[in-house]
Structure 1
């Protein structure tokens, strides 16, 4: 008998539709207005503080829906936006000095649904509200760092080659090498030119060489700096769970960062501005730190204070920088004291191995470095950054180190966790500064959501009415498939990590609503043709679905390819449109071909039918 449902088709349709509906369900519960309290650099959140927050709110006649403590932060859920503002101001006065108090929106998903991994769709900045940052990268500092690496490389290479030199000095935009005799200078020029194709070497006189980066190399350094910072910023925000960020390059040295759902910029700015890295240096044991404090600092040394304010005399030569760190996590040593375990890439492991091989028994310092803006600009209009350095650890090298080692001497587990987080997220290759910030209010986002929902509702309603009038009973089947298609889009968007619904994305859904019935129209018109040619209803249904399949597949594949190209080359809004378009194409094919066929077979298949209502 024609048009009988097979068990696998029925089960496939039911399981897939039910799964998508289950993961679409969190979107009907909405979100709570919330205040998020996160610890600052030296602060810790405990269960006692949760009780204190409740008491503080009660003293100010604020009744929260509930207070939650998880992931080292407190989340206070309140009933409306007015209460949220009052509660934020109250908690900011009480805890603002040591903690970050930020307004947020928290999903109100039931616990049983959360246990299954159900979360609502992430909304973009134009729908949910949030903050927008424009950040500027300090390109001069990245060039200086690259020159410093080249200078250290020259010294190592010349020593290994046995070429004697008098000095290697780093200037503003070049490195100057001085030799003892003309023969050594000739050998060094030949050797270094072959070893460093990205540098241009010029001879100032018989004994002095000058090395500068080529223009192509400078451009590569600047491009890599922006790209690496983009990756690191995204990692930082993701690891701290602030929001799903939109991070894009703008121009030659600027980065756009959008954080949907964040209404208070304090915490986000603290995270994004944390330009931190490490340097590993040897202590200068040949000179006295007291002489350096009296103004007699040796040429190759530098005085840096530790966390207790005690000055330490360090060698200027950097053994290793934080750019080689690929992983860092906190823990405790055999004495129960906090530590940070560090893993290096292969190049960093080789550098650390060479540096510590000849320094066993000597103390090595770990220097923590931050760049902070002075608020001033230079003659070229670029922001001026000031470098802050602090010795966070001094440890004696007991054995030759490699790609894995640990930092000890930290004050608290909290300090170890913060340091590991910054290093794990990545050391920014160049300082950055927020030059512009904007906040999109939740009321504007809500208005965009309402207008978008109106467009989807009107579009869906008109299509449903048309299909019902034009195709009668088969129109009801098409309408069921269309509604199922929308549910599946929402469920898949909620399920995909990182997928964000934007206003253009809603436009993609509206377009999908119109396109989703195309496949049904093709099938139904084919069935009508078969009926006009004298075939029986069962034969007409069978041939209608089989004949229309190739046409439906070809049409949707070409549209899907177009969406794929938009996603590959487009930016934020275009990507949002293309994502919903591609998901809609896939779900519409599934519902039109499989779901409607299962329903049609269940209603008309396997029985004697004299006439079809189509």
Structure 2
């Protein structure tokens, strides 16, 4: 029994430190490479620098579909700038938030976002076949034969005539569709289309088909935009904030770990291991699962959650100390400590979660980022305290290495 528990504990500790090493420094095994977190994490505009714009739709009572089509067109234009990881998102009912990292000229960004735009259908010889004015409608439907999403294109009278000639001329060839200079689709002509009604296939899913139909249907921005907020953020802020935050995080983690180790001895050492697991889980959730962009408020939330992560362990260990002082055995005291502390842990974390959810759903921008970090941090800390700490502590006690209750706070 002792041997099995010793093996479990040693393997657990080895796994914790191995995963920590991989996340910090990466690893290469043959042709497979795992990059370190520093190269995977996406930096927000406040850390990387760039242009922040909030475009407000001037038109009154616009539909949700129109706002989404406007967002798609803006996203298409921002992507054509060649920047990495831009953010284009709907804020509220009539605003679109645009974050463009690596570009520091607000005027140039506004010109790219708000210009009229031009939709073109271009033949293999680079000749212009149709423009946005020739398009009457574009809707999404499902191909009855393949069950795949398609875009049904309807042209006006003049457009139908030009398209009939083009499909006859380019039968078996591709006709490319451009918005501005960005290629959005290149369907192959399979039949001559004389009636001005065509089907565009090739969309991978319904969302992609809707996006294509929206762009074709609009031809240009479907609404008038007004730049409500314009901000240029220099890269110097991130250059200062990242090293400072890393230094603060390192000092904070070391101090917390030293306190737990000195004050609680063996349970403190176990809590330090659980804290490392907490940081691993949180990092993986943010970078791999949610692929969240790291911002300054997010860093603040992470630093706060690291300090809060040991709160549950403190409650548990104090309960264990009380049980040991009553003369109970080590194993009985540990079981009772976890059981008695659970309600207190649950109550304190639920109140924090309520505050976090209120901030997330009511707040915007930076407040949302802080709230999301706090929520994930609280949930991760509860998991590590209740399950990881308990597993490691019981494995260590059952191993029989140290059984003197003085090393457990008695």
Please give the TM-score of this superposition, normalised by the length of structure 2: 0.68
> Secondary structure of the equivalent of 1:429?
coil
| Residues 275 and 499 of structure 1: CA distance in aligned 2, closer, same or farther (over 3 Å) | farther
The structural deviation recorded for 1:575 is 1.5
CA distance in 2, matches of 1:5, 1:554: 32
Higher CA-based Rg: 1
Q: How many residues align?
A: 368
Q: Secondary structure at the match of 1:465?
A: helix
**Does the alignment pair 1:113 with 2:33?**
yes
Q: Deviations over 1:520-573 (max 9, x none)?
A: 011101111111222111211122123323432343344334323332332110
Deviations 1:370-422 (A, max 9, x none): 79xxxxxxxxxxxxxxxxxxxxx9x963467454379xxxxxxxxxxxxx9x9
1:123 to partner: Cα distance = 1.4
Q: What do residues 484-517 of structure 1 show as CA deviations (whole Å, max 9, x unaligned)?
A: 3223322322213441111111111122122111
1:527 counterpart SS class: helix
Q: Secondary structure at the match of 2:273?
A: helix
Structure 1 counterpart of 2:24: 25
Alpha carbons of structure 1 residues 268 and 258: separation in structure 2 relative to 1, 3 Å: same
Return closer, same or farther for 1:431/1:19 CA change in 2, 3 Å cut-off.
Answer: farther
Task: Provide the residue aligned with 1:404 in structure 2.
Answer: 200
Relative contact order higher in (CA < 8 Å, ≥ 6 apart):
2
1:309: Cα distance to partner? 8.8
**How far, CA to CA, are the matches of 2:47 and 2:369 in structure 1?**
12
Give distance in 1, aligned partners of 2:268 and 2:274. 10
2:150 is equivalent to residue 343 of structure 1: yes
Name the structure 1 match of 2:277: 484
2:327 is aligned to 534
Q: Does 1:258 align with 2:99?
A: yes
1:133 aligns with 2:132: no
Shift of 1:257: 1.2
The alpha-carbon deviation at position 355 of structure 1 amounts to 7.7
Q: Tell me the equivalent position of 1:242.
A: 84
Matched, 1:320 2:127: no
Deviation at 1:277, TM superposition (A): 5.9
Task: Assess, with a 3 A threshold, how the Cα gap between structure 1 residues 611 and 264 changes in structure 2: closer, same or farther.
Answer: same
Asked if residue 123 in structure 1 is aligned to residue 43 in structure 2, the reply is yes
Q: Secondary structure at the match of 2:61?
A: helix
CA RMSD in angstroms, aligned pairs only: 5.1
1:599 corresponds to which of 374, 392, 396:
392
| Alignment pair present for 1:573 and 2:389 | no
CA distance, structure 1, for counterparts of residue 246 and residue 398 of structure 2: 37
Question: How far apart are the structure 2 equivalents of 1:570 and 1:541?
Answer: 41
Q: Distance in 1 between matches of 2:308 and 2:140?
A: 49
8 Å CA contact 1:502–1:576 kept in 2: the answer is yes
Alpha carbons of 1:435 and 1:585: their partners in 2 closer, same or farther (altered >3 Å)?
closer
Counterparts of 1:331-480 in structure 2, within 5 Å, are 343-344=150-151, 363=165, 397-398=193-194, 401=197, 403-404=199-200, 423=212, 426=215, 427=218, 428-430=221-223, 432=225, 438-480=231-273
Q: Aligned to 1:511, which of 299, 304, 316? A: 304
- The residue aligned with 2:383 is 590
Q: Distance in 2 between matches of 1:405 and 1:604?
A: 64
> Conserved in 2, the CA contact under 8 Å of 1:23 and 1:494?
no
2:61 to 219, 226, 238: 219
Note the C-alpha offset of 1:19: 9.1
Hey, what does 2:172 align to over in structure 1?
none
Contact 1:230 1:249 in 2 (8 A): no
CA gap 1:360/1:610 in 2 versus in 1, 3 angstroms: closer
List alignment gaps of at least 5 residues for structure 1. Answer: 30-109, 140-217, 281-305, 328-341, 372-392, 407-419
1:233 equivalent among 74, 77, 81 = 74
Partner of 2:403: 609
Tell me if structure 2 keeps the 8 A contact 1:238–1:245. no
- Alignment of structure 1 residues 187-198 onto 2, 5 Å: none
Work out the CA distance in 1 between the residues paired with 2:286 and 2:263: 32
- Contact 2:43/2:294, CA 8 A, preserved across alignment: yes
- Residues 10-21 of structure 1 aligned to structure 2 (within 5 Å): 21=20
Query: In the TM superposition, what are the counterparts of 1:11-160 in structure 2 within 5 Å?
Result: 21=20, 24-25=23-24, 112-113=32-33, 120-135=40-55, 137=57, 139=59
- CA 1:219/1:126 → structure 2, altered by over 3 Å: closer, same or farther? same
Quote how far apart the aligned CAs of 1:14 are. 7.6
1:483-502 aligned at under 5 Å gives the runs 483-502=276-295
